Structure 1
Amino acid sequence: MAGKDQSLSVRHDERNLARLNLVLAPNRTELYEWSKDIQLDSLGLIRVTCTAPRNSQVPHGLDNDILLGLVSAAVVQGLPADDTVRLSIRELLRLSGIDASARAYKNLKESLYRLQHTAYNIVDSWYDGKQHRWRTLSFSLIVKHWSEDNSIDIEQVGQWRAQTLIAIKLDDGLMANIRAGHIRPLDLELLSKLTQPLTRTLFRTLSFQRETGDSGKQPVMAYSVPLSIWATHLGLYGMRNDTILRALAPAHEELKEAGFLSDVTYQGRGKDRYVHYTFRSRETLSANPQAVALLVQYGISGGRALGLAQTYRLEAVRMAVSRFDALLQSEYRHRIRNRPGILTDILENPEKYDTILATQPEGQATKPHQERPHSEAPVEQPSKRQESAVHIILLGQFDNSPKRRELRDRAARLYIEGHLQVFDLTQLLHKGTQEAEELINNWEQLIRGQSE
């Protein structure tokens, strides 16, 4: 993996991909098909059949990193309506945590081929994040992909380089889940410490189990699974127990050194042997993707935003942002030198800032939760105000009908023009069409009144 990328400190993982593990963990395989019918958790059986073309292999190794990069690209690009992400080879490799090189370009071509031409049949194991039900479906993760060569050198036409532009159309069911917010933030700082695909696959699937998936329970401190089932899930086929243990040992050590696991132990013998994972307490809280996105939009670094979102609920984050906006419209704004630092302090010590707001001259401070656009002292720089940010904040909740897309676009226009802050946009989350339209109408009326 490449080092930490300051431009993207959080990656996003779709929850089904984290739980089902559709890409084999080993770096090499000769398999062109596999199947598993196993139970890892209380969410039910995992039933998957994977079939690649006869002259190819099933997705494995670095293909999982490419898949993670594609999901992150879909989020970063504002959930494209045509399910297609468009970016350069260098950008895709960066999002996948892979250093650019001639070898990486070749491996990427092969990876995209496998992800496109491999067929999956999933029985009652794919969770529909929009309809909230388990589904049976057959699909390929990539529908199609194509490149647009931008070279003026005729001898290099057709060769992939860092600047080569590529478009990848993802499966519509996968994209629908991403739009529905059925995703998980992953800390890039921790992920970048993991050097092998097997370790990164373990991190992703164990992270899901630590958070207990969609069960709604509290995050767990430990997770146990039969070793034979775990080996099948990871794609360590045809191995004896001692070989499986040797294969897992370096990954376990790396996860402990990275601070994700505190201990790994084994119990039992033969087919009854279990592997028992104990998680470090500081990593046990789940993070709401909406809270992470909101904090990042306000300038807090991705790793710090993830930690705060693991500690505080979404409503607490929204209240902190509301207080912060109120401060920016008061005389106190002249004392603010470190905006991310102040927002963090508000989140951790909200009562202190309620007192500060109460002492501001009348008319100078806006009360938290007041549902109107914040037209003064915008937090975001105008150059950073892009429509894609609105798509990320609203997490696809306004993509499913022409009317809701119209409302989203009206809100986006107000945001881009500087009339709205991120907190205003979060007020649209989970609102019905009529409620959202009334709120946007109120915003537009207030703005027209201010301009007259």
Structure 2
Amino acid sequence: MEAPPVSRVSKKRKVTPAAPADIDRFDEANSARLGLICVQERIPSDYTRWDVQFVIDDRNARLTCISPSEYGGVPHGLDGDFATILNVMYLEQGAPEDGSVHTTAYQMLQRAGFADSGQYYAALQESLDRLKGATYTASESWRDHKRQRWTTVKFNIIEQIIADTQGDTSFGSGTSLKIQLARPVVQSIRERYLKPLDMTFVLSLKRSLTRSLYRVLDAHRYDPHNPQEPAATFRIQLQQWARECKLRETVPARIKRNLESAHTELVERGYLRSVTYEGTRAETVIVYEFGDLPATPPAPEPVIEVIPDAPVIDALRRYGVAPSVARKLVKDKGEQHVTTRLEKFEAMIRDGYQARSRSALLVDVIRDEEGKYPEPESLAPPPQPERPPARTRTELARREQEETERLTTAVEREFLALPPDEQAVRAVTQVRLFVGRELKEEHLRRLLIAMQAGEVVPYTMYREVTRAASELRLPEFAEEIRNIYGR
């Protein structure tokens, strides 16, 4: 299906690009820099693969994409808009460890700036299928931000799509979605390998070609080693730039023609000061000069709310257990079981148990169901600390109450500063975090719709589920949600 003509929810405002220091939204830096989405709005049906080779830090790197023809070829056009929105929503929902984004088809169109119409629901459905179907291999070109090194990863942008289409197979305004993002993308986001993203400016651009070129060009402004320092200019060999943009063209004149309209719009809007070409026809270099530099401070460090791993997962990782294995153990066995077995393992080590591999022993102790390991003698409850004097306890309680009130006020202020739709999603995410296992997706979807319709105040719901957790009333809270939204 060809990309539908751009018909935004409202007439586009000609906003000017924000200075990097003023941007408060972020995108995952690896996928942005690599340009996973072809910038072309339309592609031939046989364009099902591309392969790009380049150099990073004096090392050869490679990026490939293979996509089944039944999905319409490699990801392109509007796919970039939806992929970006998914990353933004994932960040807003606290970047949960499982990589899931909970939303609706209607909300995705609204956030991407598209009209509530059948053609755009069809375009969204096709885009998500392409993002799930296309397989990428980044060889020595995916940045492990935590360890400051380049790695090789193979992934699909979307790992899983669960769609409640209410009995139909096509997306519509009532379709609820649970979308699981690629593990490498999730890991990068959770480790805060991010680049600034001026979403207001992106949404104001007229064509998907311009938006796609803007995203890949803006990502190239930021040094992978220092993603808060935007460059004032960017120069690259023209044919290499065509490959970076995933164009099929190799003739310089055709490359220029394909990008001309996007260049014109970005210059007119002030993002670019100029686009010039240097060198011979065989060795043409394209030079971009950005319009918001110099004289702007560096981009801000990302300040995002990330739902952390359970403490027991971090403890397992400290003993050398791989993160994916640690998470699976907690998921399969339960946090209480893993914590108890971890304490048993630590007692065994204290008592002198010799292990060739501590991580392997720890995993085996956790998985053991046959009683292979007797209880260690030193596994005894720790001594209770002495109670502080009454006056000290009173002072500590007062300070703790003051700190709690201060944090509560800060959370409320931050929550209420969000747009209404984002408040609703944040509240549903909080409900899911505490009682998600006791509710069906239908309950949560109806709760989200009620908040979006103004029937429920999102912050009230956010506060109520948090209070229910502190007062040990979560079963009663879940029952109330089921009674109200289970009809």
What one-letter code is carried by the residue in structure 2 that aligns with 1:53?
Answer: P
Instruction: Return the offset for 1:215.
Output: 3.7
Unaligned 5+ segments in structure 1 are 152-156, 294-371, 393-411, 418-452
1:227 corresponding residue in structure 2: 238
Which structure has the larger Rg? 2
Q: List per-residue Cα deviations over 1:19-78 (Å, max 9, x = no partner).
A: 100111101123111100024x75855411111124331111111111001101101111
Deviations 1:110-152 (A, max 9, x none): 111111111111100001233332110111111110211347x
Stretch of structure 1 that moved more, 189-198 or 224-233: 189-198
Contact kept in structure 2, 1:27 and 1:61, CA below 8 Å: yes
Taking the aligned partners of 1:382 and 1:217, their CA distance within structure 2 comes to: 27
Confirm whether residue 212 of structure 1 aligns to residue 223 of structure 2.
yes
Q: Distance in 2 between matches of 1:164 and 1:204?
A: 28
In the other structure, the counterpart of 1:301 is none
Q: Deviations over 1:234-282 (max 9, x none)?
A: 1221342111111111111111122111011111122210111111235
Per the alignment, residue 287 of structure 1 pairs with 299
Residue 95 of structure 1 is matched in structure 2 by: 111
Superposition RMSD on alpha carbons, in Å?
A: 3.5
Aligned counterparts, 1:221-300, within 5 A = 221-282=232-293, 285-291=297-303
Change (3 A) 1:68 1:10: farther
Stretches of structure 2 lacking an aligned partner (at least 5 in a row): 1-5, 14-22, 306-401, 417-422, 430-461, 468-487
- Three-state SS of the structure 2 residue aligned to 1:290 is coil
Matches within 5 A, 1:291-370: 291=303
**Which secondary structure does the structure 2 equivalent of 1:192 belong to?**
helix
SS of 2:70's partner is coil
Residues in 1 aligned to 2:250 and 2:117: alpha-carbon distance in whole angstroms: 33
Aligned residue among 134, 143, 146 for 1:127: 143
Shift of 1:183: 1.6
Contact 2:52/2:62 (CA < 8 Å) preserved in 1? yes
Do the aligned partners of residues 54 and 206 (structure 1) sit closer, same or farther apart at CA in structure 2, a change above 3 Å counting?
closer
Give the stretch that moved more between structures: 211-220 or 69-78.
Answer: 211-220
Letter in 2 for 1:287: A
- 1:219–1:285: 8 Å Cα contact kept in structure 2? no
Distance 1:46 1:92, change over 3 A: farther
Pairwise CA distance, 1:291: 4.8
Count of aligned positions: 313
Q: Quickly say closer, same or farther: Cα 1:216–1:147, change in 2 above 3 A.
A: closer
1:52 aligns with 2:82: no
What residue number does 1:12 align with?
26
**1:114 maps to which residue?**
130
Quick check: 1:32–1:58 contact (8 Å CA) kept in 2? yes
TM-score (norm: length of structure 1): 0.62
Residue of structure 2 aligned with 1:81, choices 85, 88, 97: 97
Moved more, 30-39 or 277-286: 277-286
TM-score using structure 2 length:
0.57
Q: Identical aligned pairs, as a percentage?
A: 29
2:153 corresponding residue in structure 1: 137
Change (3 A) 1:285 1:28: farther
Cα distance between partner residues in 1 of 2:110 and 2:146: 30
Q: Distance in 2 between matches of 1:11 and 1:119?
A: 27
In structure 2, distance between residues paired with 1:218 and 1:287: 6
CA–CA distance in 2 between the matches of 1:45 and 1:202?
Answer: 24
Residue among 405, 409, 414 paired with 1:375: 405
The separation in 2 between residues aligned to 1:383 and 1:193, in whole angstroms, is 25
- 8 Å CA contact retained: 1:65, 1:97: no
Q: Hey, what's the Cα distance between the residues in 2 that align with 1:277 and 1:189?
A: 22
